[in-house]
């Protein structure tokens, strides 16, 4: 009796995992690189500041700058190193993916 309940739970767990994978795959399939305009609109009031000759925009008092282009946002740090992330969207939700492979809502 216990083993049949365990098997039922294991099967339900496997089904839930498969469903999560399918949903995730479907979401990934509908994602595309966000345009510069979409990223800037999504950033809203956070996308303000003064753009320097290096093309990076700096908020007042900040030593870090950012640059938005089609499909990505780059951050320039005070030591002049730059780190970029890919920005994708399905038209509603936005995701940020780093070269290291991590991904998160943006």
What is this structure's pTM? 0.68
Position with higher pLDDT, 6 vs 72: 72
Residue 99: per-residue pLDDT = 87
CA atoms within 13 A on the CB side of 90: 11
pLDDT tens, position by position, 13-63: 554 444 445 444 445 569 999 999 999 999 988 778 999 999 999 999 999
**24 and 68 in a common domain:** no
**Number of domain units in the chain:** 2
pLDDT tens, position by position, 55-88: 999 999 999 999 999 999 999 999 999 999 999 9
Residue 18: per-residue pLDDT = 46
* Distance separating alpha carbons of residues 63 and 22, to the nearest angstrom: 42
**45 and 5 in a common domain:** no
**101 and 67 in a common domain:** yes
**21 and 38 in a common domain:** no
**22 and 37 in a common domain:** no
Phi, psi torsion values for 31, nearest 5 degrees: -80, 145
**60 and 13 in a common domain:** no
Of 81, 80, 86, 52, whose CA–CA distance to 68 is shortest? 86
* Distance separating alpha carbons of residues 35 and 32, to the nearest angstrom: 9
* Distance separating alpha carbons of residues 41 and 26, to the nearest angstrom: 25
- Residue 21 structural domain: 1-30
Instruction: Express as a percent the part of the chain with pLDDT over 90.
Output: 57
């Amino acid at each position: 009796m216990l083993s049949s309940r365990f098997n039922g739970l294991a099967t339900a767990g496997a089904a839930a995992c498969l469903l999560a994978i399918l949903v995730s795959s479907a979401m990934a399939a509908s994602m595309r690189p966000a345009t510069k305009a979409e990223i800037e609109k999504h950033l809203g009031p956070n996308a303000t500041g003064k753009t320097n000759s290096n093309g990076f925009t700096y908020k007042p008092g900040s030593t870090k700058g950012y640059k938005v282009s089609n499909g990505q946002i780059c951050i320039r740090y005070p030591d002049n190193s730059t780190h970029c992330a890919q920005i994708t969207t399905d038209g509603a939700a936005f995701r940020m993916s780093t070269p290291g492979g991590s991904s998160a809502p943006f």
